[in-house]
Chain A
């Protein structure tokens, strides 16, 4: 079974500054996908960024980028030029890339990091 650990329950950052959220995971699989989802107070989960494990290049989406270290099983999210609208819960999640039995197409989530952007 896969596990996802987010060791920072809460973080804060000043507006326009940069913040990094940590995520580690455990799996015996070699091919998988990693995700960062954002859940604002409206409760709707929104995909922030996705990384395929077979790609060495780190994914980037505008102000959001990841540092994917496959050997260390680490997947951190960097938010640059933080904005007030970035205030939300952030969840790291894992999904296998091919079917290998029950649970393959489930997203396994961490417990989340509550990010507050301070004006």
Chain B
């Protein structure tokens, strides 16, 4: 069990640029989640995959955000035309079945949009 890994750990970008984050879940986990955490707040749900199917998307996930999980393994989260309000920590988590079982979180990607 190598845990959930996220890459990069930090990303600094200029407003208007596109960024992509990667999440590698625990290998036997079929569920994968993306959350966003801003300073002083708890994480907020963005989206959820079961295997390769994206089953839920939050209203927080604007059209500039897209997530994929090809082949039900790793996942990517892309933000197009970044805005300063996108600055946050993006957390990935994975779990087995059922979904109420323990979620294992990665260490997150801290995004700063200048």
User: Is B26 close to A, CB under 8 A?
Assistant: no
Closest B residue by C-beta to A4 = B42
B107 x A97 contact (CB < 8 A): no
Closest A residue by C-beta to B91 = A45
Q: How far is the CB of A96 from chain B (nearest CB, A)?
A: 8
Residues 43 to 97 of chain B near chain A (Cβ within 8 Å):
43-45, 48, 55-56, 58, 89, 91, 93
The residue in B42, B45, B93 that gathers the most chain A C-beta atoms within 10 A of its C-beta is: B42
Q: How far is the CB of B54 from chain A (nearest CB, A)?
A: 13
The secondary structure that dominates the A interface is: loop
- Known contacts A33-B100, A105-B99, A106-B56: A42-B107 contact under CB 8 Å: yes
A109 x B42 contact (CB < 8 A): yes
Tally of A-B residue pairs with Cβ under 8 A?
57
A44 x B106 contact (CB < 8 A): yes
- Known contacts A91-B42, A97-B100, A109-B43: A45-B105 contact under CB 8 Å: yes
On A, residues with C-beta under 8 Å from B are: 4, 33, 37, 42-47, 50, 91, 93, 95, 97, 102-103, 105-112
User: Can you list the 7 inter-chain pairs with the closest CB atoms, starting with the nearest?
Assistant: A109-B42, A45-B105, A106-B45, A105-B99, A44-B107, A33-B100, A91-B42
